[in-house]
Structures are given as structure tokens and as C-alpha cells.
Amino acid sequence: MFFLRLLIDFLIIKHSTDLIQIKFESFINEFRKPYLNDPIEYLRRIRNFEKSLMRIQYLNSFRLHNESAYFGLTKYSDLSPEEFRQLSNLNFLLIIKIFMANLVLKNNRKSSTNKRFKKRRHIISGTELENANIPPKFDWRDKNKVNPVRNQGKCGACWAFSIAATVESMVAIKTEKLYSFSAQQLIDCVDQNRGCQGGDTCSTLEWITKNNITIETSDDYPERDYADECHSNAKKPGIGVRSDLICEDFIENESKMIELIYNHGPLIAAVDASTWQNYLGGIVQYHCFSDRNHAVQITGYDLTGPIPFYKVRNTWDINFGIDGYIHIAIGNNLCGIAEEVSALNTQDIPSSFYN
């Protein structure tokens, strides 16, 4: 009987292993992974893949509504958690460096660890907005003020892409024309950051406004997949940026964020993206904390359904999530989305951008 049980257990394990291998080879073909003929890399990746399958099952077990987030295989499902985090690379150690250099950030960035992880169950509805003129559903994409989702590739410079994207939107709101502005210029030229190895939106915005930096278009300063020497050209037309709102805390006051989105424009937010690795769609409500490691642009919101949510533009190409977007539930500072929020404005825009 003992040996029969061992045999049955062995056959079950072998069957499970065979199923995982079949799924993995299908995954390799679907996402055109390059390591099918590399046995060492294959073994490493299939182990990551198996762990992703377990996480997917776990996260999907929390779905309570049809609108809730659902998870499955993505192009990132063969990455380790450490490799996945490199896609984000918001480097908050840089803040310490900047404080030491006496570049003091605004005083109201005061969210304590206890406050950060405090459970919040409050959900905002359309009736709770202080401004009665705010519509219950809005997205700047519908106004043609947001460019298509970009792909940051292996360059961990979400901080630069989120700033460039928001400059694009603010210029479009003023000029009725959508331009592409250079994230690469920020990657190359913001010397207190680490290019593709990480950066910080807060210190970058402080640096831009303090030094009157103008952001060039992507045509004048083309994008690459790596950091290079700064070759910014002051003779090229660019956009000066100002911001009276750099990394503000809207915890327990997310209705103000919604009003800002509608009345002002898209926002930049630092978030925790560590559980987004296998996100396919729906509204994220659980298992997303406040260890901010990624920067995104919030282009809109929807308060009409049972789970109000932000429409969040990511930088992992259009095949991530919902055409490149992720929906984050409003009201509980989910993913830390309300802890470091920035709104941009522009200096006087050169006349050439109106033509």
C-alpha cells in the first residue's frame, strides 16, 4: 500500500510537471521567447513561470465582482520578482541623496509607515464630490489629449516617461495639438538620477522647475533603449515646465485628485506595481500596497460602477493590461496612488507649437 501511494503521488507530480511544461512551451511560442534551445536559461525561466502560475491562481481567488482585476500569463510571467521590479526602478534612495545636498522637497510629504499601511474601506462615489460640476466619468483620451502608450522596454525610467507624457497632455490642452516629448532627454540629462537604472519623479520635477529646463520633442531628441550623454540643445524649441503641485499627499482626500484630473489635466503618481506582473484587466482592489516603485500617468476616472476606479496609463506597451492601461480602485490609496501626486503646467508655449 505504501509503495502504491508513492507511485500515485509520483504520477500526479509528473502529470502536473508535464502540464506546466506544455503551458510553458506554449508561452514561449506566444511571446517569442529566445531561450528554447538554452537548457540552463530554460530551467531558470520555467521555475519563474511555475511561481507565476501559483501567484495567478492566488490573486484570482480574491475576485468578488465581474469588474474585479483578473490575472493570467503575460510577457512578464517568466521573470523573477527582482527582474520585474527593474522595469519600474523608481529609486527612492535618491531622495535621501537630494536631502543631503540641501535640495529639500516640499514639506507636506508626510505619510508615515503606519498611515501608509492603514486599512481604508472608504470608496468615493459621484455624489461625494464637493464640486457638483465634476462629471462621474471622464478621460482625457476622449478629448484627444493623451498620446498612445509608450514602451519603456528594458530601460527602468518610468519616472521620465510619466513626466514626458504629462507634458504632452498639458501642451495639447493649451494648443489643441498632440506632440511627443522626449523622455530620453530626461534620462540623459537629469544628473541626480540614474538614467535607465532608476530615478525619482519628485526630485526630477524640482530640478526641471528650479533650473528652467525646457523639454524638447522626441523628433529633436530621439528615444533610445539606453541612457547616453546629455546632448540637449537650447536652440531647439522646447516646453518650459512649472508645477505648484509636486508629490502632494491626497490620502483620505482622493475626491480632490478627481477634481484635479477634470479641472486641470492628467496627473503623475508614484505607485506600487509589484503585483502587476500578471495583470490582464479589471479593477485592482487587493494585494497592492504602498511601497512605491513605479511612476504612471492618471488620465481619467470612472465613478459610475460598483467599483469606482482611476484610469492609469502605464509604459509597458499597449499589450499590457487594458490596451496599456490598468484600472485602480479609488478611495483606499490603493497601490499608494494618492501618496505622491504631481500636477504640471507649462511656461509660455512657443508659437511654433500652435502651428
pLDDT band of residue 14 (cuts 50, 70, 90) is: very low
Phi, psi of 97 (to 5 degrees): -60, -40
> In the predicted model, what is the mean pLDDT of residues 17-27?
90
For the cut 50, the answer to whether the pLDDT of residue 211 exceeds it is yes
| pLDDT per residue as tens digits for the range 279-309 | 999 999 988 877 889 999 999 999 999 999 9
Distance CA 163, CA 143 (A): 19
> Higher pLDDT residue, 338 or 101?
338
Give the SS3 label for residue 55.
Answer: helix
Q: Do 291 and 272 meet the contact criterion of CB atoms below 8 Å apart?
A: yes
pLDDT band of residue 107 (cuts 50, 70, 90) is: very low
Task: Quote the Cα angle for 346-192-204, to 5°.
Answer: 20
Report pTM.
0.85
For the cut 80, the answer to whether the pLDDT of residue 90 exceeds it is no
List the catalytic residues.
158, 294, 314
Distance CA 291, CA 85 (A): 12
For the cut 60, the answer to whether the pLDDT of residue 110 exceeds it is no
Q: Do 250 and 338 meet the contact criterion of CB atoms below 8 Å apart?
A: yes
Backbone Cα Rg of the chain? 22
For the cut 80, the answer to whether the pLDDT of residue 241 exceeds it is yes
Q: What is the predicted pLDDT for the residue at 130?
A: 59
Is the CATH code 3.90.70.10 the one for domain 81-354?
yes
Q: What is the predicted pLDDT for the residue at 125?
A: 47
User: Any idea where the domains of the chain sit in the sequence?
Assistant: 2-62, 81-354
Q: What is the predicted pLDDT for the residue at 89?
A: 65
| pLDDT per residue as tens digits for the range 27-78 | 999 999 988 788 999 999 999 999 999 999 999 999 988 999 999 999 999 9
pLDDT band of residue 112 (cuts 50, 70, 90) is: very low
> In the predicted model, what is the mean pLDDT of residues 257-267?
97
For the cut 80, the answer to whether the pLDDT of residue 3 exceeds it is no
Q: Which residues contact 344 (CB under 8 A, 6 or more apart)?
A: 163, 166, 167, 170, 205, 241, 242, 243, 265, 268
